[in-house]
Amino acid sequence: MVLEVEHLDVDYRGVVAIEDVSFRIFPGQMIGVIGPNGAGKSTLVKAILGLIPSTGGIIKFRNSPVKKQLNSIAYVPQRTQVDWEYPITVLSVVMMARTAYTGWFRQPNRRSKEIVKSALERVGMWELRSRQIGELSGGQQQRVFLARALAQQADLFFFDEPFIGVDKYTEDIIFDIFNELKRDGKILILITHDLGDTLTKCDHLLLLNKQIIADGSVKEVVTSENLQRAYGNNILFLNREQKSA
């Protein structure tokens, strides 16, 4: 059940965003993707999901193309990339995860309703199920998208900066869910700009800046030399920011 990415290239109208990125992840593992703003982290995930075209490379999950298996892949997008004005309730957002099972125009069956309810309860959002998503706090919005990912009962999970703008309560829920998913043998890909404690939960790290700067265990990747290569002098600023956070 391995996810394999080989020699992936992506560009936006001729401007290179990702170049020759290769890695593989195994069941029960969480891989952390780190790197400066504009490094191509979100692009990498979108390209794996087929949301944007790649210019080269191979992406395989369980030995076949990812595009044919989107039902078993859950994606929690970066909050800044979601249109929160879109008029839709919390319950409907999470129910969307079930359309693959029930079809667009059919009523969700009892099992789907139960799965959606338990996912919303899991993240403490069942009480707010009738709210519009635009009327939620950042942490609450994040938890709704987490519930949607859970309700999808996927095998491969992508989380793009799930910790931004969330409180300790939400953060703890997210970490608990990561642990449960790993225990269940799922594959997790976590994009984060937090270079602190979050990374210690990752089994494997990719340090990205268009290309892979370093790849391996947290200890191997998070060295001042590697960080300097990826972030340049901004790393000083980054350290300061983290200490005051």
Ligand X SMILES: Nc1ncnc2c1ncn2[C@@H]1O[C@H](COP(=O)(O)OP(=O)(O)OP(=O)(O)O)[C@@H](O)[C@H]1O
Contact 47, 8 (CB under 8 A): yes
The answer to whether residue 29 forms part of the interface with ligand X (CB under 6 A) is no
DSSP 132: B
Two tokens at 106?
Answer: 């059919």
The answer to whether residue 41 forms part of the interface with ligand X (CB under 6 A) is yes
CA-to-CA dists, residue 5 to 22, 64, 103, angstroms: 5, 12, 30
Picked from Mg ion, ligand X, none, the partner binding residue 39 (CB below 5 to 8 A depending on kind) is ligand X
- Number of residues in the chain: 245
| Closest CB to Mg ion among residues 37, 224 | 37
The answer to whether residue 12 forms part of the interface with ligand X (CB under 6 A) is yes
Site string for ligand X, 61-80 (x = CB under 6 A): -----------------x--
Query: Applying CB under 5 A, which of residues 42, 54, 72, 192 lies at the interface with Mg ion?
Result: 42
Strand ranges, E, within 46-106: 56-61, 64-65, 73-76
The answer to whether residue 192 forms part of the interface with Mg ion (CB under 5 A) is no
Q: 117: exposed, middle or buried (C-beta count within 10 Å: 0-12, 13-18, 19+)?
A: middle
Query: Applying CB under 6 A, which of residues 3, 8, 17, 34 lies at the interface with ligand X?
Result: 17
The answer to whether residue 103 forms part of the interface with ligand X (CB under 6 A) is no
Two tokens at 110?
Answer: 């009892």
Name the site residues for Mg ion (rule: CB under 5 A).
41-42, 78
Chain contacts with ligand X (rule: CB under 6 A): 12, 17, 35, 37-43, 78, 193
